[in-house]
């Protein structure tokens, strides 16, 4: 038996080592000219962020911030399909089921990283080519510049898996024009290509195939100021004619979105949609009915409160919500239905909006005392 145990230990050791070398390659951190370049390098997992990646990126951003020879930071995704499709949800699910502290560590690490991006003293350029969702939004949207392409697909689909649009979603979503942020947060609606720019999520739009040239030009800039970087991005942006004539896909619905989204409660939003009865309203109703009722209520309040908070206050609030979700039922059920069994029919508890009490929602926003997020 002892021999078998020893053999197991050797295997574990080996696995641990191979895991370390793998994780070293999951994110590439390189200094090129005056630029610090972060490449999210898990193309098979659509560059989803895991804790080891977060723990490498955060101190590197802080180091580059202090380095007089680094003038800007660029972040991009490898593989051509995704910038970053979110956080490593599966790992969180497994950890949550056994009470592993990854459910604290992951969110603490991720939100600190979001804050580092939001407070970065060096110009920060995110090349959001391909799928950009959840955690990928958190490492891009708070930075100075976000360059979308015709391949960009943006979404915050968390209400479908029993979560809420975190990573500072409570800060940037209510600040988008009109009530579009509320709409994106509650329905998980996907925006593609130029729509990402028109919604105010991206600052520039450049052809996907021009990104390597753009990156080269950014790296070649001599001691660039934010203005010089903006000028360079603008010049690429102006030359890009893809979908230039296309109208914003939500334009025709904006009047309804602005009218219904700011309602005082989810129940009121549902009531207004039912009264409206138009094909658009019915489609939104159908979408909302699939989402976790608990998530919808948390999200509506998160955005309403976040609208007047600083990014740091929002991240602290979202950390409280993350821990409430980790203790609840819907997150695990949502991940099962959408990502694991893929039957797309989650059994939410409670199953109806009316059953999610105000007292319960209040409890999710309460201070965690000594366990509050420290930024």
Catalytic residues: 87, 135, 158, 166
Helices 311-327 + 293-306 axis angle, to 10: 170
Rounded Cα gap, residues 155 and 267, in angstroms: 24
Radius of gyration of the CA atoms of the chain, in A: 21
Distance separating the N- and C-terminal Cα atoms of the chain: 48
Length of the chain: 375
The SS3 call for residue 28 is strand
The burial of 375, by beta-carbon neighbours within 10 Å (0-12 exposed, 13-18 middle, 19 or more buried), is given as middle
Judge contact between 162 and 346, C-beta under 8 A.
yes
DSSP 269-316: HHHHHHHH--HHHHHHHHHHHHS-HHHHHHHHHHHHHHTTS-HHHHHH
Q: What is the secondary structure of 137-189 as a DSSP string? A: HHTTTTSSEEEE-TT-EEE--GGGGT----TTHHHHGGGSSTTHHHHHHHH--
């Amino acid at each position: 038996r002892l021999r078998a145990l020893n053999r197991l230990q050797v295997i574990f050791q080996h696995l641990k080592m191979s895991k370390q070398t793998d994780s070293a390659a999951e994110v590439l951190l390189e200094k090129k000219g005056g630029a610090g370049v972060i490449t999210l390098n898990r193309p098979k997992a659509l560059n989803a962020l895991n804790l080891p990646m977060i723990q490498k990126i955060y101190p590197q951003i802080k180091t580059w911030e202090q380095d007089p020879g680094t003038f800007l930071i660029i972040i991009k995704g490898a593989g051509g399909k995704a910038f970053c499709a979110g956080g490593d949800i599966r790992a969180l699910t497994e950890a949550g089921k056994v009470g592993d502290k990854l459910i604290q560590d992951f969110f603490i690490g991720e939100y600190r990283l979001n804050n580092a991006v939001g407070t970065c003293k060096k110009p920060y350029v995110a090349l959001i080519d391909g799928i950009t969702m959840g955690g990928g939004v958190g490492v891009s949207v708070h930075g100075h510049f976000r360059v979308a392409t015709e391949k960009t697909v943006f979404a915050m689909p968390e209400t479908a898996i029993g979560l809420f649009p975190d990573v500072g979603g409570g800060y940037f979503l209510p600040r988008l024009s009109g009530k579009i942020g509320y709409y994106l947060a509650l329905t998980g609606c996907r925006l593609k290509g130029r729509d990402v720019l028109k919604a105010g999520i991206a600052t520039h739009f450049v052809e996907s195939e021009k990104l390597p040239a753009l990156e080269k030009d950014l790296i070649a800039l001599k001691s660039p100021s934010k203005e010089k970087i903006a000028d360079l991005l603008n010049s690429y942006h102006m030359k890009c004619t893809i979908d230039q004539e296309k109208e914003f896909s939500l334009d025709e619905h904006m009047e309804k979105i602005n009218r219904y989204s700011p309602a005082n409660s989810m129940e009121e939003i549902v009531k207004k949609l039912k009264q409206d009865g138009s094909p658009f309203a019915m489609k939104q109703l159908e979408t909302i009915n699939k989402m976790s009722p608990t998530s919808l209520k948390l999200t509506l309040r998160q955005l309403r409160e976040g609208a007047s908070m600083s990014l740091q206050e929002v991240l602290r609030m979202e950390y409280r919500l993350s821990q409430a979700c980790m203790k609840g039922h819907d997150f695990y059920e949502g991940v099962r239905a959408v990502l694991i069994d893929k039957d797309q029919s989650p059994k939410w508890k409670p199953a109806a909006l009316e059953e999610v009490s105000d007292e319960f929602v209040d409890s999710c926003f309460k201070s965690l005392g000594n366990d509050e997020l420290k930024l």
